[in-house]
Amino acid sequence: MANKIQMVDLKGQYLKIKDEVDAGIQNVIDNTAFINGPIVKDFAQHLSEYMGGCHVTTCANGTDALQIALMALELKPGDEVIVPAFTYVASAEVIGLLGLTPVMVDVDYDTFNVTVDNIKKALSPKTKAIIPVHLFGQSCDMEPILAFAKEHNLYVIEDNAQAIGAVYTFSDGHKAKTGTMGTIGCTSFFPSKNLGCYGDGGAIFTNDDALAERIHMIANHGQRVKYHHAVIGCNSRLDSIQAAVLDVKLRHLDEYCKARYEAASYYTKQLKAFDPEEKYFITPKELPNSTHVYHQYTLKIKNGKRDELKNFLAEQGVPSMIYYPLPLQEQEAFKTITRAGEALDKSRECAYSVLSLPIHTEMTKDVQDMVIKNVINFFAR
């Protein structure tokens, strides 16, 4: 079973940085500063430098990051927050949790991301914020979204859980990391994310000094001074062991992004050679103004063959995953709390046709060839 193909090879990745990671973890244990140890501050500082100098507040997970972002913006029950219908549930769950109203908008079929045109259709006098999700590792087309938000006085919270390290280029040529363009950016350090720890973790980004202070306070029981609570907050912390792991992995993040990109390019080249006219499937589309860090390599399978292909691959020992099988509008939990929107057809089409292939930082050509061969075999039968 040693060569079993995996969706993500966290063990292989760990073995390459084992000495650094083990030393970092041992150091935390030796110092017993398990919560708010110096390494948490160091990591936040290094992450800030990596992201281009924004404020960084670390927290317990990516879902908390989104929740704290919404709390910091002081939205009120009934306020509407625009969110894509095709995303991981967390992006919308926090909206409902705070008594706000998620208003779902359709995603673009080619990129899986929200577009300003779809956002425009969802605007109402109650709209207060937009949560663009940089799904699967590529930035939403942010320039028009930011312009629209500015025009209508809306906050923008980027859900950057899947795209840390991606870079967006504005029309004037200036570049920004995803997660640093909106009012607030959020990310997750869940183990399988592109920058993942060995447990749970998350972070919140902003360039606004006052907001950063507020975010920090909310993540820490609403206190600025210990035992003096200015607002209702929560308890959301990144622990020192996770920070020690992340501090090591951050140094490798660009190389990890590159490895994922190369693996994705190889998939696309081989798969397109087999199906140049997209008779059977559609390979991921890359935007000219964003890099792609391929958190997932996601095909759209045509002619209703997705589930059959998935089963076929599984029989051949090739894992694949469906991210995500239902659009939000078809989730039981969201039916009653959402202002009825448009048809959301593309989100539905995505949910019913997507299939993600194994991709990670330790991919070899041999493994990829196995995956590709089996995909081709299925359609060539």
Ligand X SMILES: *Cc1c(COP(=O)(O)O)cnc(C)c1O
**Interface residues with ligand X (CB under 6 A)?**
61-63, 87-88, 90-91, 133, 159, 161-162, 188, 190, 200, 202
Give min distance, CB of 239 to ligand X, in A. Answer: 14
CB nearer ligand X, residue 133 or residue 354: 133
**Phi, psi (deg, nearest 5) at residue 221:** 60, 25
- Nearest residue relative to ligand X (C-beta): 62
Helix (H, G, I), strand (E, B) or coil at 310: helix
Give min distance, CB of 91 to ligand X, in A. Answer: 5
**Phi, psi (deg, nearest 5) at residue 174:** -80, 150
CB nearer ligand X, residue 201 or residue 233: 201
Give min distance, CB of 137 to ligand X, in A. Answer: 10
CB nearer ligand X, residue 179 or residue 202: 202
CB nearer ligand X, residue 91 or residue 138: 91
Give min distance, CB of 87 to ligand X, in A. Answer: 6
- CA–CA gap between residue 217 and residue 264 (Å, rounded): 40
CB nearer ligand X, residue 91 or residue 270: 91
Give min distance, CB of 60 to ligand X, in A. Answer: 8
- CA–CA gap between residue 261 and residue 240 (Å, rounded): 30
Give min distance, CB of 210 to ligand X, in A. Answer: 25
Give min distance, CB of 381 to ligand X, in A. Answer: 34
What six digits make up the tokens of 99?
Answer: 């008594």
CB nearer ligand X, residue 63 or residue 374: 63
| DSSP string across 90-147 | HHHHHHHHTT-EEEEEPBPTTTSSB-HHHHHHH--TTEEEE--B-GGGB---HHHHHH
Q: Using CA atoms of 45, 131, 263, 196 in order, give the dihedral in degrees to the nearest 10.
A: 40
- In angstroms, the Cα distances linking 164 to 87, 135, 276, 302 are 16, 11, 31, 30
CB nearer ligand X, residue 137 or residue 358: 137
Q: Are 197 and 176 in contact (CB under 8 A)?
A: no
What six digits make up the tokens of 119?
Answer: 């956002």
